[in-house]
Amino acid sequence: MPERKMYLSWDDVPDNFKTKTQLKELGLKPAGKALAYKKAVEHPSLKYYELFDVAETVEIRKRKIKPLEITDENIAAALYIVNKSAKKSRDTKKWNYQWKQHGVVSAAKTRENKLYQLKDKVMEELIRQGMASVEGIHSQIICYDHKTQPKQRHVNADEYYDDESYDDYDDFSEDEEELETEIAEKRYRLVLIKFCGYQFHVPYDLFKGEKENLPELGTIEEVISAESKIESPMGFNQAVDLLERFVSSKGYPRAI
């Protein structure tokens, strides 16, 4: 059992104390040892979270990136990495909203949106060039708890999004109306796109290609996991760099 102070509730944790994950979303990393702990009641597999003082941190320095060749295989792998990383920020945002870590939520939301925007630009270019195939439409049903999720609002093509449906959230509204039930069900439509052995989804309302006659492919009854199930052939920064170069060159040149 740790000797330092153990907090049982996130409400009791001082604003200047953050976990490593929270610090990473802020672009920081610990410069010393943990000063306190938070009991991990949310995750039975963990005993506690280490807490670090923001005043005793340093900025995460960006490593020099070795550019990779722009190939179909590398583009697909990079898209997978970026898509899963965006979902990790999605999950970080949701957990920290519940824990009232507003600064971390804001940073996670910004990072998530930036990654999803990059993903969508790449998907758009792949479809334009006839490199990716549009397979059809999935319906998605997600149940969520009003007490632990931010208030949802309508999203349009000029805004950005969260989750597999890219549903945006209002930030910490103090005057939300009372809800009749705690658990709600949301339904979404997602366009399934295949490229080089990988599958990706784009929200139906934000998909810019032809979609009127696409076949219905069935229902997804869960939030798609952020867990990576494929061994990565490149690092995150390499993936972002490759996709940004692909978009900026409109797909050409295909090699560096």
Contact criterion met (CB below 8 Å) for 164 and 201: yes
Counting Cα atoms < 13 Å in the Cβ hemisphere of 159 gives 14
Q: Where are the alpha helices (DSSP H) in 55-213?
A: 72-98, 102-128
Are 141 and 163 in contact by the 8 Å Cβ rule? The answer is no
Instruction: Provide the sign of the torsion angle of the four alpha carbons 147, 153, 159, 162, taken in this order.
Output: positive
Average pLDDT over every residue of 71-85: 96
Please write the tens of the pLDDT for every residue from 87-122.
Answer: 999 888 888 887 778 888 888 899 999 999 999 999
Q: How far apart are CA 109 and CA 129, in angstroms?
A: 30
Please tell me the distance from the alpha carbon of residue 193 to that of residue 190, in angstroms, as a whole number. Answer: 9
| Predicted local confidence at residue 169, as pLDDT | 33
Residue 8's DSSP bridge partners are none
d(CA 106, CA 93): 8
Are 154 and 206 within 8 A, CB to CB? no
With b meaning 16 or more CB within 10 Å and e meaning fewer, what string describes 1-13?
eeeeeebeebeeb
Whole-structure pTM value: 0.67
**Residues 53-59: what's their mean pLDDT?**
93
Contact (Cβ atoms closer than 8 angstroms) between residue 85 and residue 250 = no
In this prediction, residue 144 carries a pLDDT of 66
How far apart are alpha carbons 87 and 109 in whole angstroms? Answer: 10
Q: What token pair was written down for 126?
A: 């792949």
d(CA 15, CA 101): 8
What band does 246 get if pLDDT is binned at 50, 70 and 90?
Answer: very high
Q: Is the pLDDT of residue 156 over 70?
A: no
Helix (H) or strand (E) holding 24: helix 20-25
